[in-house]
Amino acid sequence: MSPTISEAYRELPLPPHHIVPIDFGSLKSVPFSHQWFASDTQVGKLSTPSLKPRLDSHAIPVVDLASPDVLERLGRACEEWGVFQVVGHGISSEELEEVESQAERFFALPPEVKARVLRSPDGGAGYGIARISSFFSKFMWHEGFTIMGSSLDYAKQIWPHDYQHFSDVMDEYQKKVKNLSQRLMLQILSSLKVSDLPETSSICPNPATASTALQLNHYPSCPDPDLALGLAPHTDSFLITVLHQARRAHGLQVFNDRAGGWVPVSPLQNALVVNVGDLLHVLSNGRYVSALHRVAVSERSRERVSVAYFYGPAADAEVAPLGAAAPVYRRFKVVDYVKLKARELDKAMSLMRI
Ligand SMILES: C=C1C[C@]23C[C@H]1CC[C@H]2[C@@]12CCC[C@@](C)(C(=O)O1)[C@H]2[C@@H]3C(=O)O
Ligand SMILES: O=C(O)CCC(=O)C(=O)O
Ligand SMILES: [Fe+2]
């Protein structure tokens, strides 16, 4: 049997307080455990003096997949930002809204029902706090539900007599967003203009063996948004992430060197946000940036939901810079990188440098 991404977490089980979220619904103020100060948001070299973004969001590229110069636009967006919004992606707004409302339906359940699908201490999928939480001294204003593969078994545990709809919606969405991810990956890889791309084997990647995860994110309404942080700064690990953020749900910010700070990624009607992940950064030999991003809790008494789809090569596939005369990253197995990141977080990428 080939390894799966979840197996990467076997060696590093998390304690329960890094799995089970607090009962946000019962809180009238932000507990000390969830109050962030400037020094808490330091991740490696990047510290953030304030949660207020410094710039406006117009700079984030919007790429229409139907535009004739789509490859050039994708390439530039990946190189300069590592994040962009796609329109003309073919997934209908009805479908996105349905996924969003099923996610809301799940998060609205009482804590003891959500606990039926709790992530296991040594696993990757299930309900709980984001895995990166263990690297920070404060907890995030966030709960998540990671689905790997079909959501049917989870749905049966959550709604024993009414599981079909949730499961149909989530699995149908995974199919569509997987097709979109594959299409984007092929275009992004051709935007790299590498002369001899390997066959659609491991790296390209092969949709039949790809590592995928659907992550439902919930940022509950918060009594004091200035004190809390939705999701701490991180880069996504796989090749690309395709994210749907609910309308009017501000909060996602991306760090950009050229812009000199945090830039909000404002929700755009019918657009999906695409992030370059660590593995695409490696394939491009460092040319495409794996975007550092975070989520601020922007508004009082407004909750926020987002749905992220992570797309990567098979867990046992090998990744290395494509066609680079002077590679700056070693060749490594995807599963080994996920293990290393579980231990080292933001240091993992530089440990793979030659
Ligand atoms: C398939 C993935 C991708 C994961 C790990 C695993 C399951 C859940 C994903 C997230 C979702 C929340 C942010 C993140 C940083 C986290 O803590 O869990 C992501 C992480 C990654 O991109 O590394
Ligand atoms: O909720 C968001 O906008 C971002 C979520 C995210 O970064 C993630 O799931 O990795
Ligand atoms: Fe992310």
- ipTM for the predicted complex comes to 0.96
Q: What pLDDT score was predicted for residue 260? A: 81
- In 266-317, at which residue ranges do the beta strands (DSSP E only) sit? 272-276, 293-296, 304-312
216 lines ligand 2 (CB under 6 A): no
For the whole model, what pTM was predicted?
0.95
Nearest-5° angle of CA 299, CA 302, CA 304?
A: 100
Q: Where are the domains of the chain?
A: 6-10+59-352
For ligand 3, a single-atom ion, the residues with CB < 5 A are 236
**In terms of Cα–Cα distance, which of 17, 1, 64, 61 is closest to 209?**
1
273 lines ligand 2 (CB under 6 A): no
Rounded to the nearest 10°, the torsion over CA 126, 132, 137, 140 is -60
Nearest-5° angle of CA 321, CA 179, CA 62?
A: 75
Q: Which atom of ligand 1 is nearest to the CA of 236?
A: 22
For strand 83-87 and strand 62-64, is the pairing parallel, antiparallel, or unpaired? parallel
Q: What pLDDT score was predicted for residue 49? A: 46
What would the CATH number be for the domain defined by 6-10+59-352? 2.60.120.330
Q: What pLDDT score was predicted for residue 201? A: 47
Q: What pLDDT score was predicted for residue 159? A: 98
Q: H helices of the chain, where?
A: 70-80, 93-107, 111-114, 152-158, 164-191, 278-283, 334-344, 348-351
- Residues of the chain with confidence (pLDDT) below 50: 44-47, 49, 200-201
